[in-house]
Structure formats: C-alpha cells, structure tokens
Amino acid sequence: MSESISSVLLDAHRARRQGLNGIAQRQRARLSEAIAFARANSPYYRELYQGLPERAESSSVLPGANK
C-alpha cells in the first residue's frame, strides 16, 4: 500500500477514462486491498474481519468497530 502520488494519480486517470464502471471496479479493488492490509497488520482487524470474503464488493459488508 505504499504508492507514490504520481502512481495514484495515474491510476485515477486510467479509471476515469474507463467510465463509471472502471471507477467502481477500482474502488472495489482498493477496498479489498485495504481490508487485506488491515488483516495482515492488525490483530484486532484480523479477528474482526475473519468472516469477510477475500474480495469485498461494498463497504456495507464491514462490521462496525468499537475500537
């Protein structure tokens, strides 16, 4: 998840050129990457997210966190 600003901007530009479907697809990919990062680097989120699918389609599947 350590990306440079230029690579993020280039990625956003590419997704925008693909239209709304491209943007939505990239949002889902980034959500899945964020969940994977949290699982790998936090015991709290590893346990909290253990029942989630590998690829999340929406943030609505995320359980609430009290921490």
Task: Return the axis-axis angle of helices 5-17 and 19-41, rounded to nearest 10°.
Answer: 140
Q: Could you report how far apart the first and last alpha carbons of the chain are, in Å? A: 22
Residue-wise pLDDT tens digits, 41-67: 999 999 999 888 888 888 888 888 876
What pLDDT does 2 receive? 61
Model pTM score: 0.73
What pLDDT does 55 receive? 85
